[in-house]
Structure 1
């Protein structure tokens, strides 16, 4: 049998051929890596989640009301360890293998939080959010309720009422003539759907807003921190009665002072001093001192109105609140108020330290 010696197995390619082959391989490797990066970016862009907007503080502000992505992630780092103990409102599925009930998370935890913040910040409907995040509308409802309850208890466990020594340590110069001020208080109202029951209508109807509303009392420390948030009450309640039922009287002491609007007729309810614009009865005029006092209090009280405006930048409260979410509106409102301490800088730029 003849052996074919037509191929020289001992021969080696020329160096130039090896260099050319290596260059081609390197180019292909780079091309594959570029394509992989493009694919990953395409996946991020196609998925409506936080990572898609991480590079734009403007988008983060629009979708969440957090000032920047850095602000939001700083807040997330504080709450993330507790998310593992979250009690979830969700459907339970039975696995075929074990027969055990397991809770399935449709989105990563941080995207659930992002979805919840979009609901607060933009007031987006559940169906809209379901389309954006490619999940079922029922899942969106569960996520919103879960996070409302979770943040309500988590942020509510933080002691926001400050000792008077700390309030005075951070007192802005504008309060030099009101150094004993512990908190600036005001009421705010949220419009709600009119109940079909005439009895309920009479309870939630606000003569001030000429609409059915929920009403709450909010307190602001002189340096701008939210230090008190009451529950929501029926809109027919008076400022005095809301103040009485809110629980704030229990934390006031004789060496403090509160700053309120002239509608708060609470002199016999509190143990402390009250800074309030002067009253003018029919046929009388204010003295020069009363005018100056009223102007000074009005200039300082405007800060609590700015706070309320920030709370209502959460567009969920722009529209009429449907009675279908009345079971969780108290949590949603409280969370929106408490988030103000984390989302923004000071109310007055000069107070930044």
Structure 2
């Protein structure tokens, strides 16, 4: 059946001739004065869609290349504002009407349900479109500034009450507090908070100064309450959580989690680092556990710890960070513990290839030891020729094959486990926190002195608070 022409050919009086470049289209300005011609758009993506639509992918577009108005729906063409004006296309319009589709668009395909009769439905209230969009906003790009706004403690969702994650959720459970922070109880955690809280205004000013916003009267712009930030930081140390996991738990942006970790590691590094942790020999003798009867002059128990680090994508000095013992990028540090379990020495971190002897030599520990003192080390800790004091290396202490349950061995292993039980020492350290890795590592070790009660029965709670009181004095004088 022959198709009926939708327009009549008319000869134009214009001397300028325009020709449609669409295949099988013979429209020309010489004979069709009622047809408009449109040049190709300058936008590369839309221009490519035009070429695909007219099936001319290999067309070399020149200034004279045109597509006539017959190939566009009427809704895509804007009428001229004046009699002498010419029609224009709406932005983003693409030709869709051609000879091969009979200059018409196919009707929309009916759904499966439209082909079957359905029983009449009862009239129901039409839900508000805003409520529907609120439940399906996963495709909407987020704004970090809005994500960081502090939500209410309790939110109502579909009639169910959901409690926000935070310290208030576990205040009544010492077991949960122990799991999430390594503090033995909520009471001990609150005592520690009371010690550092007076210095919080100084941390706020430091944070603002970092961003170049330090001016009088400005707010610190926190997304969380300070105690919630502290709880998040303790979660990171205790569980070695991924930053994205913490961001999801606290409903903040991942960049906020990173900022909180860096800020609190620097803050606690300054506060806890101002307290002298090296205990005089007479104080150590005063609280010497009974299991050290044969090693009564022991001043410190030395052990090394390693942190696994995210391997850089670029080979930046790989030999200096790859450990000899594990095929992984690592950093190594030296930790000293008093016989009664307190952390008395923490070195800075060194690259994974460094040997234990070199760490002891560079850490500054030798200047604290005297000839009448003694240190206890592992059997593989060969430092006899560099220390000025006696060295104990009990054969039964670190031999895992020994079956005898020595009280001394159990005591030492418990002391070391209090430091290394944090999942931070087992998880991979993210590369974008490398700038604060020494502070984070040091704070993780020093917090052991505040997380538990007296480690031995001979040490009273008042004696255990001596160092904490000195911490409080240094905070108030800051």
- Scaled to the shorter chain, the TM-score interval is 0.7 to 0.9
CA contact (8 A) 1:94 1:102 kept: no
Take 1:53 and 1:189, find their aligned partners in 2: how far apart are those partners?
A: 31
Q: Corresponding residue for 1:327? A: 435
Please say if residues 347 and 363 of structure 2, whose CA atoms lie closer than 8 Å, have aligned partners that are also in contact.
Answer: yes
Q: 1:320 to 1:133 in 2, by over 3 A?
A: closer
Displacement, 1:194? 2.8
Deviations along 1:50-94, one digit per CA (max 9) or x if unpaired, are 122211112211211111111100111111111121154468598
Q: Where in structure 1 are there 5+ consecutive unaligned residues?
A: 1-39, 279-290
Give the 3-state SS of the residue equivalent to 1:111 in structure 2: helix
| Aligned Cα root-mean-square deviation (Å) | 3.2
User: Counterparts of 2:452 and 2:162 in 1: how far apart (Å)?
Assistant: 27
Give yes or no for contact 2:287–2:458 (8 Å, CA) kept in 1.
no
Indicate which of 242, 249, 252 corresponds to 1:132.
Answer: 249
Q: 2:407, 2:185 → 1: CA distance?
A: 29
The reply on whether 1:216 has 2:333 as its aligned counterpart is yes
> Following TM superposition, by how much is the alpha carbon of 1:221 offset from its aligned partner in structure 2, in angstroms?
0.5
Aligned to 2:317, the other structure's residue is in SS state: helix
CA drift at 1:131:
2.7
**Residues in 2 aligned to 1:243 and 1:330: alpha-carbon distance in whole angstroms:** 17
Give the Cα separation in 1 of the matches to 2:407 and 2:357: 23
SS in 2 for 1:328: helix
Deviations 1:229-267 (A, max 9, x none): 111110100010011011100111111111112323322
Partners of 2:326 and 2:458 in 1: how far apart?
A: 33
Give the TM-score, by structure 1 length.
0.75
Which of the numbers 191, 195, 206 marks the counterpart of 1:78?
195
Tell me, in whole angstroms, the C-alpha distance in 2 between the residues paired with 1:100 and 1:58: 41
Distance 1:189 1:327, change over 3 A: same
Output one character per residue of 1:135-177: Cα deviation in whole Å (capped at 9) or x when no partner: 2222222111100100111111111100000001111111111
Question: What are the residue-to-residue correspondences of 1:152-171 with 2, within 5 Å?
Answer: 152-171=269-288
C-alpha distance 334-64 of structure 1, shift in aligned 2 (>3 A):
same
Per the normalisation by structure 2, the TM-score is 0.56
Residue 225 (structure 1) aligns with: 342
Query: Alignment partner for residue 51 of structure 1, among 147, 168, 173?
Result: 168
Deviations, residues 88-125 of structure 1 (Å, cap 9, x unaligned): 44685989xx9986431222211111111111112222
| 1:1-353 mapped onto 2 (5 Å cutoff) | 42=154, 46-86=163-203, 87-89=205-207, 102-196=219-313, 198=315, 200-277=317-394, 300=408, 303-345=411-453, 353=460
Larger Rg: 2
- Decide whether the 8 Å contact of 1:239 with 1:263 is kept in 2: no
For residue 225 of structure 1, report the CA deviation from its aligned partner: 0.7
8 Å CA contact retained: 1:92, 1:102: no
Q: What is the Cα deviation at residue 277 of structure 1?
A: 4.0
1:193/1:139 CA distance change after superposition, 3 Å: closer
Q: In the alignment, is the contact (CA less than 8 A) between 2:291 and 2:407 conserved in 1? A: no
Distance 2:437 2:415 in 1: 19
CA displacement 1:21-78 (0-9 Å, x = unmatched): xxxxxxxxxxxxxxxxxxx984696332212221111221121111111110011111
The 1:198/1:136 distance shift into structure 2, 3 A limit, reads: closer
Q: Which has the higher contact order (CA 8 A, sep 6+)?
A: 1
Structure 2 unpaired stretches of 5+: 1-151, 156-160, 461-478
